């Protein structure tokens, strides 16, 4: 058996040593020992430069190096296929295409995905979502810096005379005029502007996916609590940073968002009116809100988000010996550039400039603000009068109280997780009570269901228009679903989790159903059950990489090892005896 590895090739040079040599074939015709007699020493060749190989080839080599952790006395002889020796000699003499540089390039390309997923061995997918969030933030920062010289954060009114003829002569603000100039007059301006918007959306989406991954795996207690709190804080901060960016164009959508913010602030008891006048610099919308929002968007919020990202990743202050580029960085940047090139987002020229007292028909916020807008649309118009002052509970509860409770509960959930899952440490003579992860899973599904219903309710007017249903009918349907949907999702998910756990427990006790029926000598029929895969008990000396490599080699090439090794060393090797019984 002869094998050419795509990476720099290898040659077995001893029972406990493997040397990587370019231009060799596997397996060798004769092992070359490193030490021993003088005759063996003279057979050594100068060591060439060592190069890296893939993990699979590394395990393959270690598997052939020795039987038990590389012991020389336990090493089995390598079986060489003499029928293929001529072909192997011919293949080894054939020139390799690409040369060493091509091999290294191919090996590096194959390592892109494994390296992208191997940075955090504890939870690689959570790490992937976290790095995507970091790279999206970097793309948003770079694209925002490129847009800074062309944007004018002013609400002063001017007459528009630009490339978009449909608005020629229309009075607009300088902020809206500069956004139109970026989109139509600056070369590449529309692409950069859309990449900036998509990167903000992807930043919030990656944070949400990371939080979901960590939540359902229960990795938020102990040492992981700090990271959980950082990412939970990043979620509303990223939403606020992206939301303040949508206010800057001063178009119809940003004006509608300002109207919503004004209503929510006015619902605050006692200080609501003073708060609105202080933020807007007078009666809303005023003439200063765009300039103030501009500095918050480009300085305050990015600085806070960047500091939290640095605290989440905890970069080392020591300069690394070898800088390894992360393949997710060009991938994230390429996806964002592709979205900016082919997917239109926030076309302000189709919406028109903001006019106080008017709003665009069918206007909805960005996806991350949909669940907040859905609350405002579904909340009944409750209003109380306290000491002669009106208290708009319909806006106050939906706009401030419920979002505050949501993010607070999300941050403090690790404290309540032990009570929700039901786990209990041993107390005196009482044994410990194992936790029930199905409760956590059900609670997470219920939360996702509530979020999805509120997010869909933000488009209740569009649903009523498209389906020809009265608006209040759609609103009442969503009200019922918001109250009943999370509870039903919790119960259904818990039932499904318990059913899966019972099935897994039955397979561990009685084996897995194979669908094969046999007839015994007495005339009866029995079903053959395959034993479920069980993890091997921890040994005194846990196997190293060599043992893993031997298992891989034995499974692929049983001729290299004896039948006693295949019967006793491979996991699930007793499967055949159960089938024959």
- Per-residue b/e over 400-431, b at no fewer than 16 CB within 10 Å? eebbeebeeebbebbeebeeebeeeeeeeeee
Q: Which of 13-22, 71-80, 89-98, 453-462 is the most confident on average?
A: 453-462
Query: What Rg do the C-alpha atoms of the chain give, in angstroms?
Result: 33
Report how far residue 266's alpha carbon sits from residue 395's, in angstroms, rounded to the nearest whole number.
9
Tokens for 213, please give them: 């991954």
Phi and psi at 516, nearest 5°, equal -105, 125
* Strands (E) located in 46-204: 157-159, 171-173
What are the structural domain ranges in the chain? 1-110+511-581, 120-316+323-413, 433-507
Judged against a pLDDT cut of 70, whether residue 415 lies above it is answered with yes
Tokens for 145, please give them: 């810096």
Predicted confidence at residue 385, as pLDDT, reads: 86
Q: pLDDT: is 120 or 305 the higher one? A: 305
Predicted confidence at residue 124, as pLDDT, reads: 83
Three-state secondary structure call for residue 462: helix
Q: pLDDT of 167-189, one tens digit each?
A: 999 999 999 999 999 999 999 99
Average pLDDT over residues 530-554: 52
Q: Nearest to residue 450, comparing CAs of 343, 378, 359?
A: 378
Predicted confidence at residue 504, as pLDDT, reads: 87
Predicted confidence at residue 530, as pLDDT, reads: 82
Judged against a pLDDT cut of 90, whether residue 575 lies above it is answered with no
Peptide bond into 443 cis (omega under 30): no
Predicted confidence at residue 434, as pLDDT, reads: 75
Q: pLDDT of 347-380, one tens digit each?
A: 999 988 988 877 777 778 889 999 999 999 999 9
Quickly state the pLDDT bin for 102 (edges 50, 70, 90): low
Residue 454 belongs to what H/E stretch?
Answer: helix 437-457
Predicted confidence at residue 316, as pLDDT, reads: 57
C-alpha distances out from residue 500 to 449, 496, 515, Å: 21, 6, 19
Q: pLDDT of 214-256, one tens digit each?
A: 999 888 888 889 999 999 999 999 999 999 999 999 998 888 8
Mean pLDDT of the chain: 76
Report how far residue 533's alpha carbon sits from residue 5's, in angstroms, rounded to the nearest whole number.
32
Average pLDDT over residues 395-416: 92
Q: Nearest to residue 153, comparing CAs of 175, 131, 134?
A: 175
Q: pLDDT: is 465 or 56 the higher one? A: 465
Predicted confidence at residue 99, as pLDDT, reads: 58
| Count of helices and strands (H, E) across the chain | 24, 8
- Please check whether residue 336 is in contact with residue 229, taking contact to mean a CB–CB distance below 8 angstroms: no
Residue with tokens 């009482």: 430
Predicted confidence at residue 470, as pLDDT, reads: 94
Residue 38 belongs to what H/E stretch?
Answer: helix 38-42
Judged against a pLDDT cut of 90, whether residue 58 lies above it is answered with no
Predicted confidence at residue 433, as pLDDT, reads: 73
C-alpha distances out from residue 35 to 31, 63, 73, Å: 12, 21, 15
Residues 6+ apart with CB under 8 A from 27: 1, 2, 3, 12, 64, 78, 80
Report how far residue 314's alpha carbon sits from residue 301's, in angstroms, rounded to the nearest whole number.
20
Predicted confidence at residue 107, as pLDDT, reads: 60
CATH architecture, domain defined by 120-316+323-413 = Up-down Bundle (1.20)
Quickly state the pLDDT bin for 568 (edges 50, 70, 90): very low
Average pLDDT over residues 477-502: 94
Report how far residue 225's alpha carbon sits from residue 230's, in angstroms, rounded to the nearest whole number.
9
Residues 6+ apart with CB under 8 A from 95: none
Report how far residue 252's alpha carbon sits from residue 93's, in angstroms, rounded to the nearest whole number.
72
Predicted confidence at residue 395, as pLDDT, reads: 92
Q: Nearest to residue 363, comparing CAs of 480, 272, 443, 251?
A: 251
CB-count burial class (<10 Å; 0-12, 13-18, 19+) for 87:
exposed
State the greatest distance between any 2 C-alpha atoms of the chain, in Å, as a whole number.
107
Quickly state the pLDDT bin for 338 (edges 50, 70, 90): very high
- In this structure, of 97-111, 130-144, 186-200, 469-483, the range with the lowest mean pLDDT score is 97-111
Q: pLDDT: is 39 or 260 the higher one? A: 260
Q: pLDDT of 76-90, one tens digit each?
A: 444 444 444 444 444
């Amino acid at each position: 058996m002869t094998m050419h590895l795509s990476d720099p090739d290898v040659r077995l040079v001893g029972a406990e040593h493997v040397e990587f040599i370019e231009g060799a074939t596997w397996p060798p015709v004769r092992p070359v020992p490193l030490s021993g007699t003088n005759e063996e020493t003279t057979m050594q060749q100068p060591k060439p430069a060592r190069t890296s190989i893939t993990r699979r080839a590394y395990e393959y080599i270690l598997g052939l190096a020795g039987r038990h952790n590389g012991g020389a006395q336990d090493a089995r002889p390598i079986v060489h296929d003499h029928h293929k020796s001529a072909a192997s000699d011919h293949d080894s003499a054939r020139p390799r295409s690409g040369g060493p540089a091509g091999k290294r390039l191919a090996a590096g390309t194959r390592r892109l995905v494994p390296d992208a997923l191997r940075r955090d061995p504890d939870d690689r997918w959570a790490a992937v979502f976290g790095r995507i969030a970091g790279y999206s933030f970097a793309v948003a920062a770079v694209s925002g810096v490129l847009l800074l010289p062309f944007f004018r954060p002013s609400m002063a009114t001017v007459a528009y005379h630009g490339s978009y003829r449909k608005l020629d002569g229309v009075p607009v603000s300088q902020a809206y005029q500069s956004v139109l100039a970026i989109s139509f007059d600056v070369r590449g301006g529309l692409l950069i502007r859309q990449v900036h918007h998509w990167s903000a959306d992807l930043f919030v989406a990656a944070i949400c996916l990371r939080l979901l991954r960590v939540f359902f795996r229960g990795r938020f207690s102990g040492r992981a609590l700090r990271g959980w709190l950082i990412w939970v804080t990043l979620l509303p901060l990223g939403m606020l940073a992206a939301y303040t960016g949508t206010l800057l164009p001063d178009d119809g959508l940003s004006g509608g968002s300002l109207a919503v913010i004004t209503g929510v602030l006015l619902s605050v008891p006692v200080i609501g009116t003073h708060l609105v006048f202080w933020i807007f610099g007078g009666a809303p919308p005023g003439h200063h809100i765009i300039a103030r929002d501009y500095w918050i968007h480009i300085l305050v919020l990015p600085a806070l988000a960047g500091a939290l990202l640095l605290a989440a990743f905890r970069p080392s202050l020591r300069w690394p010996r070898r800088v390894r580029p992360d393949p997710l960085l060009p991938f994230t940047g390429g996806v964002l550039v592709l979205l900016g090139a082919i997917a239109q987002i926030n076309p302000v020229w189709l919406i028109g400039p903001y006019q106080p007292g008017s709003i665009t028909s069918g206007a909805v916020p960005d996806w991350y603000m949909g669940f907040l807008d859905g609350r405002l649309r579904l909340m009944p118009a409750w209003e109380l009068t306290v000491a002669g002052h009106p208290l708009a509970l319909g806006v106050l509860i939906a706009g401030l109280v419920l979002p505050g409770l949501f993010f607070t509960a999300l941050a403090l959930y690790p404290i309540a997780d032990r009570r929700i899952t039901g786990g209990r440490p041993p107390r005196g003579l009482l044994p410990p009570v194992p936790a029930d992860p199905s409760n956590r899973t059900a609670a997470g599904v219920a939360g996702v269901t509530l979020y999805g219903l509120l997010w869909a309710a933000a488009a209740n007017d569009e649903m009523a228009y498209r389906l020809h249903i009265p608006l209040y009918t759609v609103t009442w349907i969503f009200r019922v679903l918001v109250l009943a949907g999370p509870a039903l999702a919790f119960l259904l998910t818990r039932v499904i989790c318990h059913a899966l756990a019972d099935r897994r427990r039955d397979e561990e006790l009685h084996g897995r159903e194979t669908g094969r029926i046999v007839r015994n000598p007495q005339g009866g029929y029995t079903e053959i059950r395959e034993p479920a895969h069980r993890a091997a008990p921890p040994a005194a000396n846990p196997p190293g990489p060599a043992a893993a490599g031997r298992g891989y080699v034995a499974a692929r090439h049983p001729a290299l090892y004896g039948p006693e090794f295949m019967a006793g060393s491979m996991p699930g090797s007793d499967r055949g005896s159960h089938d024959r019984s």
